[in-house]
Chains A and B, each alone.
Chain A
């Protein structure tokens, strides 16, 4: 497995339901970030959680981080059709030289109206 792997790879839900996406990583990190990408478009930064934080909220987003399990989850509550996109976790490893992010494969979320 590579640093930053999401599951599931694809998730299809109905509007109003909650969506949970998981991310696992291999090495120690400074922080973990979640990004969203609409089809063929740029990456939009959603939320950053530092290694000393366990949970963070931003609007309908809730992110948890478990550094002992090297995993994170992104919960989107009361999903909307407009939430349909790919979601990526990206880690900033402690051994980082230049601050690069290491991305996972992403979860493709489809929210049906």
Chain B
């Protein structure tokens, strides 16, 4: 069964450093998403991406965040200058139409 692949599975970074989280969505999917889940809390929407541009972003997705689809397969989330409160599990998801397929996540720890 096709799956969404995320790398790395775990990243530890120093506060203020830039991180890039990578995702390979399912190949025939057109809509891409990033969500995050702070430990013990619910999953929160960050950004949606369609047709090579952001279609919607949440209040969390401020100027420190950016997304890119640099080629036909990868979808990346960059955090420019990480803060302690960015520590969370970050999930990538993709869909062809409705049901979203999620990756297994990247656990980001900012120290």
Contact = CB atoms under 8 A, between A and B. Distances in A.
Nearest to A5: B42
A92 B43 contact: no
Interface residues of B, number: 27
Interface string B39-60: 0011111001110000110100
4 smallest CB-CB distances across A and B, nearest first, come from A98-B48, A98-B55, A98-B56, A42-B104
A92 B42 contact: no
Nearest to B43: A103
Interface in A22-65: 30-31, 33, 35, 40-45, 48
Interface of B: 31, 33, 35, 41-45, 48-50, 55-56, 58, 89, 91, 93, 95, 98-105, 107
Contacts of B43: 43, 88, 90, 101, 103
Contacts of A92: 98
A105 interface: yes
A100 B48 contact: yes
Given A100-B33, A100-B45, A104-B42, A42 B98 contact: no
B109 to A, nearest CB: 13
Nearest to A103: B43
Contacts of B104: 41-42
Nearest to A41: B104
A88 B45 CA distance: 14
24 contacts: A33-B100, A40-B89, A40-B107, A41-B105, A42-B102, A42-B105, A43-B43, A43-B102, A44-B102, A48-B98, A48-B99, A88-B43, A99-B31, A99-B48, A99-B50, A99-B98, A100-B58, A101-B33, A101-B35, A101-B45, A102-B45, A103-B43, A105-B41, A105-B42
B103 A101 contact: no
Nearest to A6: B42
A59 to B, nearest CB: 16
A88 B35 CA distance: 14
A97 interface: yes
